[in-house]
Amino acid sequence: AITNAVYFKGQWERPFPERSTEDGDFTRVDGTKRTVKMMQDGWRSSVPYAAFSANGEYFATPHEVPRNEADRPQTYQDDGGFTMIELAYKGDALSMLVIAPRVASGLPALESQLTVASLSAWLQRLESRAVDTAIPRFKTQSEHEMSRTLEAMGMKRAFVSPEHPGGAQ
């Protein structure tokens, strides 16, 4: 039997306040909304942040935006772009990079631009600033059937019954 497991239970370098986790709307790519638990931290300081236009070009946004919406200048060129933030885990060895389109329907265009080169260029534009942060709580799991991959790599006997000639022993 071949088994392996990867387990990661990261703790944020700066945890989101539990009292600030509230139900909120999360918009899916198809435009439908789902109510989920949103971790929130209004105006979290020193968050690496950057904004980009629909074609992936960086553009500067104000470092400080008034809380009162009526006093806010226009901060984004349009809804076609996306923003990025980086949230560190304890120990500063790992972080989560959150890349979010300005509107849910912009996700396919963002995905089409995502390459090693573009991500590298975008990461160079991150600047620390205060950011009103809200992300859904989540848990992710996956399982992968590895027998075909291992067979393709030459590990064939392990998948043949020992009752057959040349089978596993």
Please state the rounded mean pLDDT for residues 89-117: 93
pTM: 0.76
Cα angle for residues 83, 141, 41 (degrees, 5° grid): 40
Q: Which amino acid is at 120?
A: S
Report helix, strand or coil for 98.
strand
Q: Residue 72: which pLDDT band, with cuts at 50, 70 and 90? A: confident
Looking at every residue in the chain, the average pLDDT score rounds to: 87
Sign of CA dihedral 84, 53, 134, 23: negative
Q: Would you state the pLDDT for residue 4?
A: 66
DSSP labels for 4-58? --------BSSPPPGGG-EEEEEE-TTS-EEEEEEEEEEEEEEEEEEEE-TTS-E
